[in-house]
Structure 1
């Protein structure tokens, strides 16, 4: 078994716990409302805008023995730079003010996930950052395109309100094979352990963002 398959196996339980969060299932069925989708995009902006800085920070901290992995990060940076602007485009298509969205504060759960990513790179083994890559890209492949189609159909929203989800679903499908190849080249037990550890944490942290979204949605429904 290559390390990529080992990684998937040892994080599957955490992945399934995240996928069982009710609002994720509702999104895949298109049974969320416009406010839910808008709130999701708002939080996505607050973690996606850190993707390129995180990739750069990870590359700066990698040891010389992983120079090949640093080169791979250049590919990721080229693919990911500016994606937060897609999210703002989608929010504008939903009637939101671009500047206000960009200047808003993230929820606690979103901020904590981003902070943990920086901490993993700065204080722990920077290779652990690839645990976050697994969680976010893997989730995009599994959920993004299907959710976009369901939500667009149910809410009759304009297609230009889904550039982030649709593009990420397509891009991350391409990235999955690339990511698997990188993970299978990791042959150091400490590096492998760092990725597994971080991935399990990020499934919890990313899931917490959806749990917060679900709680917010329930509160708004009660108020209505």
Structure 2
């Protein structure tokens, strides 16, 4: 592809994500539909805690890998030009995201849940697949893949109107900190990430790494919302047993 027709990394990622938009919209609409929203919201908080608690550790590990694959190891050839600016971005983003898992625990407590029980409970496999794939790519491919994960999670942050819909379902305001906070913060975060993608000297294989990570994250997010919806449904199995 000639320089005149080259597509930027952010354009390539946006184009692929647009193809996934209908599936994401459908999963999001089902997640936030009004009937049963109250019980589903509790499941959402617990599941998202499993996701968000991994965010800072993932970024911290990516920063360390940037140092390891840089000039000292030269795993990717002469001093990797991506790792320096990537690590700088991640260090700043770590401080912006630190403590957000505690927001979720506070929301769970305000909703009447038990934060200790959430911490003790093993997160479902879909959560492990979301974060676990990032661990693998950070360790065994390139830490830039993590940007695809971040782009999807922050690009699908709660909409500004969502907190009011949840409150209308009977959820107390004290349990809405995470939803309100991320609706305000993540728009700016997403813009900064896409700008970074176009600043980094990414070759086609690294652009593909970001895109693949993003598409995997979309699949996981859609599956996670479906899991939350199923878990919140009433269990009618006993009724069927008695009436069969």
**TM over 0.5, shorter chain:** yes
Q: Is the contact made by 1:26 and 1:32 (CA closer than 8 Å) also made in structure 2?
A: no
Match of 1:10 among 4, 10, 16: 16
Q: Is the contact made by 2:31 and 2:226 (CA closer than 8 Å) also made in structure 1?
A: no
- The reply on whether 1:83 has 2:100 as its aligned counterpart is yes
Residue deviations 1:30-76, cap 9 Å, x none? 33332211011001011101111000111122243220111111110
Shift of 1:5: 2.2
**1:165 — aligned with what?**
179
Shift of 1:221: 5.9
Taking structure 1 as the reference length, the TM-score comes to 0.90
**1:52 — aligned with what?**
56
Evaluate the alpha carbon distance shift between residue 16 and residue 124 of structure 1 in structure 2; reply closer, same or farther with a 3 A threshold: farther
Q: How many residues are aligned here?
A: 218
| Greater radius of gyration (CA) | 2
Match of 2:39 among 10, 35, 43: 35
Residue deviations 1:88-125, cap 9 Å, x none? 00000100112112222111111221111111211222
**1:97 — aligned with what?**
114
SS in 1 for 2:149: helix
After superposing the two structures, state which structure 1 stretch, 103-112 or 29-38, moved more: 29-38
**1:139 — aligned with what?**
156
Consecutive unaligned residues of structure 1, counting only runs of 5 or more, are: none
Shift of 1:11: 2.2
What do you get for the CA RMSD once the two structures are aligned?
A: 1.8
Consecutive unaligned residues of structure 2, counting only runs of 5 or more, are: 1-6, 71-80, 240-244
Match of 1:197 among 202, 206, 212: 212
Q: Is the contact made by 2:152 and 2:217 (CA closer than 8 Å) also made in structure 1?
A: yes
Evaluate the alpha carbon distance shift between residue 184 and residue 32 of structure 1 in structure 2; reply closer, same or farther with a 3 A threshold: farther
SS in 1 for 2:156: helix
- The structure with the greater share of residues assigned to helix is 1
**2:131 — aligned with what?**
114
- The reply on whether 1:74 has 2:86 as its aligned counterpart is no
